[in-house]
Each structure stands twice: as C-alpha cells, then as structure tokens.
Structure 1
C-alpha cells in the first residue's frame, strides 16, 4: 500500500465527520444557506429588483423570487455575459460554463469564485466517502482517467468560457496531477473520435485504477481499447482497475454491457454534477440513493412534477418534501442563479439523511394522449425485461407515432441492442406490459383502444454514435434524449432501422 492510499484513509475519516454533520442537519443547513445567499446578493441588480432586503424567511423568498428557466432568466444572464458586474451575484463570474440546451440553444451558466471550489470538494468527497466506507484506497496510488471536454478556454468580455468538465480540469488538486490522465495535450483535442483514439494510445500500457465519465462515451473508450488489444477484456488490459465513477445519465441501461466489457461487476460511484452546481453523490455502496449536498452554496426548492406547468405551482423547501414523489428541482446558487429550474426531476429515497435519485427531465416525457410517460418508467420497463431475458441494451429513445399509415397510434421505441432478443415482437409485448404496470394512464389508453401496444425498431450497430456525430454532439457531456414528444429524433433514426 502506497503512502497516498494510507494518507487518504486518514483524510477520508476526517472529512466524513463533516459529511455526517451534513447528513444530520439538512433542513437547518438549507435555511442557513438561503439566508447567506440572500445576504450576499442583496446589493446586486437582481437583489434590488427582488427586494432581497425584505426577505427574512422562505415565505418571503417565494413571494419575491419567481421560478424561471434559462430563457426567463436570460435578460439578467445576458448582462452577466456582456461583462456587467454585480448583476445576479457580487462582481463578475470566474467562468461561464457553455452548455447545449435542448430548448435554448447555447447557454452560458455563471460559475463564481465561491461556487467553483464546491464542484471540486464534492467530487473529492464522493471518492473519500467510498474510501471511508469500503477501506479501498488502492486507486489513489495508480493512474486515474477522467473522460472530459477540452480545457481550452475562450473569452467573453474578459470572462473565461468553456465546458464544465474542461473548466474543472484546471482545478484538479496538485496531489492528483501526477496520477491523472489523459495529458493536457490529448485533453485539448476537440474532435471526440480523435481524442478517444489518442487516449487509448496514451493509456493502453498504464496502471489505470479509476475511470470516470459519462457511460456511453466510456463504453466507446472500452470498445476501442479492446479492439486495439486484440479483443481483451478491460480487466486484462488494466488488472488494477477497480472503480468506475459516472454521472449524467442513468447507468442501468449501460451496466450489463459495460460490465461485460470490463469482465466483472466493478464498484461504481454515481455523481450528480451540473454546470449550475454539484448537487449530490452516492455516499454508500449499499445504497443507490445520492446524498443531497445541503451545505454547498445551493438552496434547493422542489415543485411536484404534476404541478410544474400550473400557473401557481406548490414550491417546497427541503423541510416539506415527501418520499417517492417526483419533484422538479429548483436551484438558488452562490453563482447567482435564482429560482432556476434546471429541468431535472428527482425523487427522495430517504429523508434521514436526504437522498435522491434522478428520475428524468421535466420536459422529456411522452404525453401525446395524456399518458405523461416519464424517463424513470420507460427505463424500468425496458431494463426489467432486458435483465429477465439476458439482453444487452446499447442505447434507446422513444417517441409517439401519432399518425401511422394504418391502425391506432403507438409509442415507437428505437433500440440499439448489444445482444438482441430472439423474438422482437415478444420482447415488445413484455416491455409494453411492464410499462402498463408503471403508468396507469398508459394502461387505460391501451385498454380503451386509444393506443395500440408499443412497437420496437431494432437499430444497426453504432446507430446512436452515428446519429450523434451527424448532430455534431459526439462525446463530452452530450447525451441522447430518452423521450421526445415530437418525431425529430425518431425520423432521423429511421435510416438506421434494421
């Protein structure tokens, strides 16, 4: 055991005391966070416009600060991007994180000098929680790879602009720099496929022990590593690789294929980072719930998802949330986002401590006929049947077919299989039955002959990679939307149907 791993266990125990305090004092810490954020921003343009000086409690806050998405908040953000100081947060942001929104095109999310360290601390604490619980610290003595965006920055009115993962690359702690791959030069390659090939060349003979990234792009890296080594499993290429850290998408649809590529069921840590803030991480291998970070400069609010599009939806602080109920997540941050709807839905799996799972996107659902099928439901239906039949799912997306050439409308599922079912119609029937059990409205529409059972379209190998390439969204933090209420993605994927 190396010196780093010995020291990391001591450090993990020390940090765990702070994490335990957070676990036990969620509501109080959130109230304190709200008060601190309001006090710090009361003299900004936003604070003046929304009478922050009169806010003393959460009821005041709700009256003064409306819920907004990016487009609603854009008049303020545009002022920030244009270099104006003291708009939504004191001074100017340290960075602008550039993201590709599904409805707003390119978005610029401010990251302040106060919020940036919270991203780094949360990522660190996710690893330290794993070390403290399991006693496994061997990975800190070897190489670690973080599949991420380019660290190259541009400027907007004197503010550094880049992708979140590229920004974070500039803040990796010094004690990890010698362990970290890829090299800066390789990380700067913009073309994703060229970058993956360069990473394969750079890491192929290294002692890789931890790999982190969004699952589909890690799978691409694993596939190319295996191909370069003549078909070896990842465990044979990296015998000391024992920890996979991921975030950004639900891992379950990718788990079977990734574990097959690696050669065993590897330990995993799920994280929930976003440009808007690092929200939660998995703090236990015994629990898939993600520990909500309640003292990291973010004050959270929650809107019951069924009320989200109402004129005056219910807004709840952490003190009033319930278990197993879908909420739209609202954020107020130390980077100057206020009443900000991030677009995700979450569900609490524990209230002591406060733990969540991400259940989907508030605008990613199918409700062409009032069924309001959400991401959590389609993923459960698909993966339960795939697991039962021993099938391999590479990627999938679902869209409504409202005007078929004949017969009743239906939900159309485009699935790229690693291992396909012997009988696609029988597989579709089972998935449809599973979805009916999860969503009573969908069940009623099938029973009432408003919809016919879903149809599965099997796609050629690499269909989703080719589709994302055609959209200019291959790699990085880009993800395929699992659900759409229109036919844009479905019509584009029709060319890949077997």
Structure 2
C-alpha cells in the first residue's frame, strides 16, 4: 500500500515516485504478501491455496482467470447477499460497473473503501508532475469536464456505480470547498445526475471564469470532443445567459441552479460578445486557446483506441500540449505518465507497484501473421520486473478488493524502464474485432489501418470524427464494413466527399491490414472488397446515447470499434448517406507485412 504523503508537497511526491519506481521487487513482494495474508481465509483462496501464503504456491495453484470465472462469486455477493469474505476480507462497499462497450455487457468489479482511498491517493500524485513540467500551471484552476451517472443497488443492497461517479461522490458535501478551491466548476454541478444540464453548466461556469482556467480536459479524448461539439451547438444560448445574467429555463436541477448562482451574478455583454465573435468564425481551429487564453494544457487519455482522436483534439487545442495522465481500469489503477509533455503518440505509462500485484501474460507479437489466438499458444506469465523491452503483454492483476490473477484484457508493449520499473505503451484491447475466414484483425490492426487512411482526408479539409466496424455476411464472400462520420474543417461547409478519395481510403485500409487478410482478398475468393459507409453528423452521438441508456456514462464511454448489437446497427444503418467500396485488390506477399507495423 502507498505510504502516507502530502499531495501539496511537490518535492515529497516526486521523491515518493522515485522511491517506488526504484524498489519495485521489494514493493511487489510485500504487496502480494499483504493481499494473501489478509485474504487467505476467503472461500475463493481456500479452494486453491489451502492456507499457503508463499509466492510459489500462489503461482502454482492459483489459475489465471477472466471475469466469467469470478462472476459466480460476485453474483452471490450482489444478488444473494452472501458476505464479502467469499473473495475479500474487507467489506465490499461498491460494485464498479464497466462501460460495457468493449465486451458488450457491463462487468461488476468489487471495490473496498480502503482501495478507493488508495486510488484517490494515486490520482493526487499526478499534480506534482504537472507542476514540475509546466511552468505557471498552478496559477490557474482546472476545468475538467466530469459526469456522473445514476447509481443503482444490487438485490443485496450494494451500490453499483461507475468509477468516476464513485470518485466524485466520495467527496462529502462538507468537504466540497476543497474541490471548489482548485476547480472552476463547482462540485455540485459535476455531481448533477443530468448529464446535459451538467455539461451546459460546466461550460457556462468555465466561460464566465475564462481567465482563471489554467488547464482543461476530460477523462478521455472522446469525452472532451463531446464537450466541444456540445459547445458548438449551444454557444448562442450560453452567450445569451452571460449577456443577461439569466440562466436558461430548462436548467432546473437544484445542484446546477445553486452552483451557477455563485457566478451568474451580473450581465456581462462584453464577455458575451467576445465569445460570440470567436465562435462565429468560419473555422473552430484553436478554439480552446481562443476561449481560454491562459490554459497551459489539455488533459485527456489519448492512448489505445483514443489515439484516433489526437488530430481532432490538436485541431481544437491551439497548440496546447495534450497530456495523457494515467492508465487504469475499473479493476485497478495501474500506471502514470511520468513524461507528461511527450507527444501523444509517444505516451508510455510507468507501473505503480503498490497499487496491486502485477503479472504479465506474454502475447505473441506476430499473431497477425499466423492467425493464432495470442493468449492460447503459450501461457507464459512473468512478474513485473521480468518483462522484456519491445515485448507485448496482457496485465494480470491481483488486488486488495478480491481479484486474483485476473486478466484485464488490454495489450501493453514494454518501451523501456524508469529506474527499475517498466514503461508500457497501451496497444489496445486483447480482442479480435473483425474476422471472416482465417483472418483475425485485432483492435490495434484496425486503428493503424484507419490512421493511414485518414491521411488521405487532410488535403480535402475533412476530419474523421468517429468510426466503428462490423463484418457484413449478407452476401458471399463476406467483407469488412466501416461506418465513418466525417466533418469539414470549414464551418457549415457542404459535406460532399470525393468518391475517388473514399475509395482510396478503402484500399489504403486493406493495404494496411496483415498478410492473412490480404491473401484472403486475392481474387475475392474468401473476403470481399472492404466498404466504408459515411453516416450523418451526430450518428455516433445516437450510438453513445444507446449505451448511456444502459448505464454507461459520458466520462467512461468509448466508441466500440466493432458492433454486433442489433439496436446499434439499426442506428448506424438509418444514418447512412453514402457508400464506397475498395476498387483494387491489395497485394498479399508476406514480406510486406512488417512495413505496416
């Protein structure tokens, strides 16, 4: 567990980071010992360890598991009211619900009060890094757009919350003044359950205090872009509120109304006119620095599937550094980006060894060439200190909240070491997103291919706002189908993409995929030509709303990179405005494979 520290003492925090990244093996061994000694009498561990606490017995007898393996235990606690000590010696205070956009169904992840406090401490370690690397950032306040979702209870009365909702609501109202001292938007607004009202009021408070904003952002790059899109749709109304000092009538939530009452105190026509002038311009390039001139950076996760949004965030950012702060999941907080000013495409995360016990399941790096499932070939599991640079791994975590040798499902690539602790680049989810015949296209493959195709849009002032994919088997042979939402960089410009450009995008994606796919495309025998369907602006907002209606949140939502859900497909198909097919057959020689990696 992390030693106590003062998060306002920058030097102490930086010294702590040096210590924990140096004494990695000792910390990891002590973390495992603490977890096992506490939980050895739980029903789950008794069944495998029979009271043995040594590391060798743990590795030999405890299986590496997925969520489905531990789900029966969680269901017994959640639905039957059985005690937490089925899996954990401390009471489970909340079940964290995952977004459900990766696997299709939200998971319920156990969390104790003690573990939550550790996660809050973990997050507070990041501010000193920003102070160290960005001059003057402490002079302003933070405008981070956070959103909660409505919570529920299991049949046994355990709270079910998203991770961010859990964090935000862990701050007692009596202590919210601490939040309000460092943030532009009041805690009351951030914890409003109505996302639309909350987003509007967070923007309004941020505009009213534009000169106080030192940094801004959201949990994910996609969430930040949703806020920018919302601003585009609502800036005239926001300006009206500022000009008249009157909050819109549709803002009725008591938390929002009271929160805005502190700032919307007098008409400010000068500020309204300034915002109106900037938002009325033909291009929104650099809109962030135009509206918030003293901002020093944008904070948002831009790794993995979020990497596709980097060009869009940079388009709006006005040259501000885009900082991907930390890597974590509902299961465990894992790593910090200790080099915050690196390019978004170069982000690596340094594992924080006190957050849990970390093992790594080696992933066959060239699984694309062989078509094998990378996790089934060799179950080689290594400790944190034994990973190798340039190798790919899936994290396997053991936590204080009742997960033991649990596969997270991500793929991480080792990029080097900070002191004695490895740095990892987030590659993607350990999941085949598209497959027709012998081909297996993983999330990483698809993201790289689309990134290559996006370059063809640049000369035409077009931006890819979002995308997803599926296999279309309605005809033979089946083919890959991508849904693209496009937008012009020029405001209100008519969107008429050149068919030749989109057909070239189709071909570029195919050329970027692996040799197994390209061989399957030869003579259209096994795989048909790849297709892109362009959808209406706002189609992916509708898709997001579908998942929000099922319990996800704006802060947690990630667009699924492949869809099979019938309701989701109906939304996308109803919004299709044009279709394009690859007109060429990609070459398939194996020697070309590595040129695309």
TM-score, with structure 2 as normaliser = 0.73
Mapped contact 2:96–2:108 kept (Cα < 8 A):
yes
The one-character-per-residue Cα deviations of 1:378-412 (angstroms, maximum 9, x if unpaired) are: 212222332454242211011112332xx643211
SS at match of 1:371: coil
Aligned to 2:305: 250
- CA positional deviation for 1:183: 2.9
Partners of 2:566 and 2:374 lie apart in 1 by: 24
SS at match of 1:251: helix
Where do 1:146-165 residues align within 5 Å?
146-150=145-149, 157=156, 159-165=158-164
The one-character-per-residue Cα deviations of 1:158-184 (angstroms, maximum 9, x if unpaired) are: 544322101111446874442235434
Gaps of 5+ in 2: 1-5, 236-274, 280-286, 365-371, 489-494, 578-597
Aligned to 2:515: 440
Aligned to 1:300: 359
2:317 equivalent to 1:262: yes
Where do 1:143-292 residues align within 5 Å?
143-150=142-149, 157=156, 159-171=158-170, 175-206=178-209, 207-211=212-216, 212-226=218-232, 227-228=234-235, 229-230=275-276, 232=279, 233-247=287-301, 250-284=305-339, 285-286=341-342, 287-292=346-351
2:438 aligned to 365, 370, 384, which one? Answer: 370
Aligned to 2:424: 356
2:466 equivalent to 1:395: yes
Aligned to 1:3: none
Where do 1:465-476 residues align within 5 Å?
465-471=541-547, 472=549, 473=552, 475-476=554-555
Gaps of 5+ in 1: 1-6
2:383 equivalent to 1:314: no
The one-character-per-residue Cα deviations of 1:260-280 (angstroms, maximum 9, x if unpaired) are: 233334331342221111112
Mapped contact 1:411–1:453 kept (Cα < 8 A):
yes
- CA positional deviation for 1:104: 7.2
- CA positional deviation for 1:147: 1.5
Partners of 2:50 and 2:128 lie apart in 1 by: 37
SS at match of 2:188: helix
- CA positional deviation for 1:476: 3.2
Q: Cα RMSD (Å) of the superposition? A: 3.1
Partners of 2:474 and 2:298 lie apart in 1 by: 43
The answer to which of 451-460 and 181-190 deviates more is 181-190
Partners of 2:308 and 2:447 lie apart in 1 by: 7
Structure showing greater radius of gyration is: 2
Partners of 1:496 and 1:19 lie apart in 2 by: 49
